Structure 1
Amino acid sequence: MSSCRDTAIEHMSLLFTDYRPQFFIRPDGTVLINLRNPAGKRLMSRVIQQEEQTSAVLLNNLVERIRRDLMTIEGPLEEENVDWFLKRIELQTFVPVNPTHRPRKIVVAGARLRALSGK
């Protein structure tokens, strides 16, 4: 598991070099990522779930959600970034603590925005 975790951390480090990423390994196997601006102000924190550490697709979805959040935080939305908000991204909405619980539900982000845009 640690090799997948290390690969995910390395991948995120390379993608977010402008935001000074910091990583903290949590006892449950997840990884907390803090992104800071060049002045040192924390912009956001996100958790990299174990499933995201082992799946390139899920990790890429997390990266895209973080990029969208950063665009929102840094505002105003530039014309060339509109496509990021029109793209379908799967969101994982349930993390079972007990294996007897139902599996994760996948929802699609941005459907309402795409419908309003006419695309």
Structure 2
Amino acid sequence: MSSCRDTAIEHLSNLFTDYRPQFVGRPDGTLLINLRNASGKRLMSRVIQQEEQRNGVLLNNLVERIRRDLMTIEGPLEEDNVDWFLKRIELQTFVPVNPTHRPRKVVVAGSRLRAMAGK
């Protein structure tokens, strides 16, 4: 398991070189990532589940969610970043071992608002 954790840490460290990522292992096997800007201000913290550490697709989905959140935090949204918000990203269920839970999807930004405006 530690090799999966080490691989995830290395992957995330390489992707977020513009920030100062800090990782903390937790007793339940999850991993906490803190991203700080150059002045040391914490921008965000995320928990990386064990399944995300082992599965490359889930880890990449996490990376995309973090990038979207960073764009929102740092704002303003540039025109060339709009595509990030139009992509559907699978989210983990709260109980991933329960087969009755289906993966949730992120609603495409704007479609709900357009539907509500039409009412």
Both proteins in one fold, TM over 0.5: yes
1:113 and 2:90 aligned = no
Distance across 2 between alignment mates of 1:103 and 1:53? 23
Correspondences of 1:19-58 after superposition (within 5 Å): 19-58=19-58
Aligned 8 A contact 2:90 2:104 in 1: yes
Give, in angstroms, the shift of residue 107 of structure 1: 1.0
Partner AA of 1:5 in structure 2: R
Partner AA of 2:11 in structure 1: H
Aligned 8 A contact 1:21 1:33 in 2: yes
Q: Which residue of 1 aligns with 2:65?
A: 65
Deviations 1:49-107 (A, max 9, x none): 000000000000000000000000001100000000001100113146xxx86665311
Q: What are structure 1's unaligned runs of at least 5 residues?
A: none
Distance across 2 between alignment mates of 1:57 and 1:19? 22
Q: How many residue pairs were aligned? A: 114
Segments of 4+ moved more than 6 angstroms: none
Partner AA of 1:110 in structure 2: V
TM-score normalised to the size of structure 1?
A: 0.87
Aligned 8 A contact 1:85 1:110 in 2: no
Distance of aligned partners of 1:8 and 1:104 in 2 relative to their CA distance in 1, 3 Å threshold: farther
Distance across 2 between alignment mates of 1:50 and 1:104? 18
Quick one: percent identity of the two aligned structures?
A: 75
Partner of 2:44, secondary structure, is: strand
Partner AA of 1:41 in structure 2: K
| RMSD of aligned Cα (Å) | 2.0
